[in-house]
Amino acid sequence: MAGRGRGSWVLGMCVALLVGCGGPSAPDAAPGDVRRLLERRADAVLDRDAKAYRATGTDAGTAAYDNLREVPLESWQYRLTDFRRSGARATATADLRYRIKGYDSEPLVTSRSLTLQEREGRWYVAAERPARKATQQLWDQGPVTSVRGAHSLVLGVGRGERERTTLREYAALADRAVPLVRDAWQGRWPQRVVVMVPKSLDGMAGLLGAPASGYQGIAAVTTGETGGSGGAPADRIIVNPEAYGVLGDFGKQVVLTHEATHVATRADTSPATPLWLSEGFADWVGYRGTGRTAAQAAPELRRAVQGERLPGALPEDDDFGFSGDAGKLAQAYEGSWLACRMIADQWGEERLTDFYEAVGERKLRPGAVEDGLRDVLDISLEEFTAQWRTYLRAELG
C-alpha cells in the first residue's frame, strides 16, 4: 500500500546446487518464502494485528510484539541481506527500516538477526535480535511505555503503568527545553525531540552499543548523523536514568536543554566542528537565562584556575572521552561553555550562532575554526585563545 512503507525489499537470491551429473537444480525457494514472511510480519506490526504477527513465528519468535504496542510507527520494513539454510533451520540477516510517526523524516536503519524454522513447508521466525555489532532497540529490552508531550515523545522501558508519571516528568522537561532552544538557535530544525529512557545504565549502553563503564556519570547523550541534509531520521536523546535521577530539577532541565540543542544544531554540525564548540554551545543554551555564574557552573575549572593550572589551549576532542578522568572531562565542558559564553558576551549572541554555522559549513577540520574566527569574529585562533584564558582568570580567579 502506497505511503505505508510495508514489507521488505526484493533481494535477488539464486542458490545453484549441482546434483550428481544432472546439472543445476531449481533455485531454492526458501529466500523468497522468507521475504514474504517478513512482509507479513511487517504488515502485522503496522496494523497492530497480534494474531497475524503471531502467525509469523513460534512463541519465542513473537514475544517482542507486546513490547512494541505503544511505539507510534509510521513505517516498518525488512530488507533481507543474508540467508543461510541448514535443512529445516536457517539464519538470516535483515535491515530493519522504521519511522516513528510524527518525528522521523526518514527511516532509521538497524540490522537484525533472525533464526528461522521450517514446519510443513512454511517458514517461521523462531527468534529476532540485534545483528552482530548492531545496537539494541528499546523494545529489545522490554515493554515500551509511551508518553507524548507538546514537543516531545518519551519512550521508556521496564517501568510499567506505575512509572508513567515519571515519563510525563521527562516530557514536561523536554517541552520546556524546545522553546528555550528555539529562542537561542534560529536555524531550521523540527522543534520536537524523542527521549528514550531505558531501565538502567546497562540499558543505555545497549542502545548505544558501547560498554556501560564508559557512561557512568553521564546523564544523557544524543545520537544522530552530523552534517545532516534533512534526510536523516530524528535524533534520539538517550537518558542514563541512574545519573540523571540524582540531579535536581535545575540540573535535569539543563541536561535536556543541552541535548535538545544537539538535535537543533545537527544539520549545521559537521566533521569540521570541534567538540569544544558543539558541547560548549549546547551548554551555553542550557545555562542561558538561568543566572548561573561561571563560579557556580564551572567548579572544576575554577579550582584549576585558582590552583594556577590555567589551561593553555582550548579543549581537544580527546578531552571529552567518557571513560577518562571525571575532573578532566568536567573541565573540558566548563572551558568550552565559557568559550561560547565569552563570544556571546563580547561579540553578541548572533555572532556566536554565525560562528557555529561558519565552522560547520566546512567539510574538514583543518582550518575550519581559524577561518570561522577570522571571517565572523575578525580574530586569529592565537588571539582568541589568549582572550579566552584572560576571560577564565577574570571569571574564575
More confident residue, 63 or 200: 200
**Is 325 found in the same domain as 380?**
yes
**Is 324 found in the same domain as 212?**
no
What is the pLDDT averaged over residues 226-244? 74
What is the pLDDT averaged over residues 309-317? 95
178 is a domain residue? yes
The H-assigned helical ranges of 160-248 are 164-184, 201-208, 241-244
Q: Which tens digit of pLDDT belongs to each residue from 120-141?
A: 999 999 999 999 999 999 999 9
* CA atoms of 268 and 264, how far apart (whole Å): 9
Other Cβ atoms within 10 Å of 373 Cβ, number: 21
Other Cβ atoms within 10 Å of 19 Cβ, number: 8
What pLDDT score does 234 carry? 66
> Does pLDDT of 4 surpass 50?
no
Other Cβ atoms within 10 Å of 106 Cβ, number: 16
CA atoms within 13 A on the CB side of 5: 19
**Is 23 found in the same domain as 96?**
yes
Q: Say which DSSP state 376 is in.
A: I
Which stretch of 61-70, 130-139, 165-174, 333-342 has the lowest confidence by average pLDDT?
61-70
* 6 closest CA partner among 34, 52, 65, 47: 47
**Is 353 found in the same domain as 335?**
yes
The H or E element that residue 84 is part of is strand 73-86
> Does pLDDT of 324 surpass 50?
yes
Q: Please give the C-alpha separations between residue 379 and each of 65, 338, 354, 384, 387, in angstroms, as whole numbers.
A: 58, 17, 14, 6, 10
Q: Which tens digit of pLDDT belongs to each residue from 72-93?
A: 999 999 999 999 999 999 999 9
What pLDDT score does 299 carry? 95
Q: Quick check: 96 and 112 in contact, CB under 8 A?
A: yes
Which stretch of 76-80, 133-137, 233-237, 353-357 has the lowest confidence by average pLDDT?
233-237
Q: State what percent of residues in the chain have pLDDT above 70.
A: 89
What is the pLDDT averaged over residues 225-237? 61
315 is a domain residue? yes
* CA atoms of 284 and 78, how far apart (whole Å): 41
Q: Rounded mean pLDDT of the chain?
A: 89
pLDDT class of 21 with cuts at 50, 70, 90? very low
More confident residue, 175 or 320: 175
204 is a domain residue? yes
CA atoms within 13 A on the CB side of 314: 24
Q: Please give the C-alpha separations between residue 300 and each of 255, 303, 322, 387, in angstroms, as whole numbers.
A: 18, 5, 16, 20
More confident residue, 61 or 148: 148
180 is a domain residue? yes
Q: Which tens digit of pLDDT belongs to each residue from 370-397?
A: 999 999 999 999 999 999 999 999 999 8
> Does pLDDT of 313 surpass 70?
yes
**Is 158 found in the same domain as 112?**
no
**Is 397 found in the same domain as 274?**
yes
Which stretch of 74-83, 157-166, 330-339, 368-377 has the lowest confidence by average pLDDT?
157-166
* 144 closest CA partner among 69, 195, 76: 69
What pLDDT score does 7 carry? 43
**Is 241 found in the same domain as 191?**
yes
Q: Which domain holds residue 89?
A: 8-134
* 96 closest CA partner among 141, 49, 137: 137
What pLDDT score does 232 carry? 54
> Does pLDDT of 55 surpass 90?
yes
Last residue of a domain, one of 79, 110, 134: 134
Last residue of a domain, one of 267, 300, 323: 267
Cβ-based burial of 310 (10 A; exposed 0-12, middle 13-18, buried ≥19) = middle
Whose cell is 515500551? That residue is 144
1 is a domain residue? no
**Is 192 found in the same domain as 122?**
no
Looking up residue 158, the CATH number of its domain turns out to be 3.30.2010.30
362 is a domain residue? yes
**Is 33 found in the same domain as 129?**
yes
Which stretch of 35-49, 193-207, 224-238, 331-345 has the lowest confidence by average pLDDT?
224-238
Q: Quick check: 110 and 135 in contact, CB under 8 A?
A: yes
335 is a domain residue? yes
What pLDDT score does 36 carry? 96
What is the pLDDT averaged over residues 47-55? 94
* CA atoms of 72 and 278, how far apart (whole Å): 31
**Is 176 found in the same domain as 117?**
no
2 is a domain residue? no
Written in H, E and C, the secondary structure of 223-239 is ECCCCCCCCCCCCEEEE
**Is 197 found in the same domain as 112?**
no
Q: Model pTM greater than 0.85? A: yes
pLDDT class of 230 with cuts at 50, 70, 90? very low
* CA atoms of 179 and 183, how far apart (whole Å): 6
Q: Which tens digit of pLDDT belongs to each residue from 252-293?
A: 999 999 999 999 999 999 999 999 999 999 999 999 999 999
393 phi and psi, to 5 degrees? -60, -40
Q: Say which DSSP state 377 is in.
A: I
> Does pLDDT of 17 surpass 50?
no
> Does pLDDT of 8 surpass 50?
no
Q: Helices H, strands E: what count in the chain? A: 13, 10
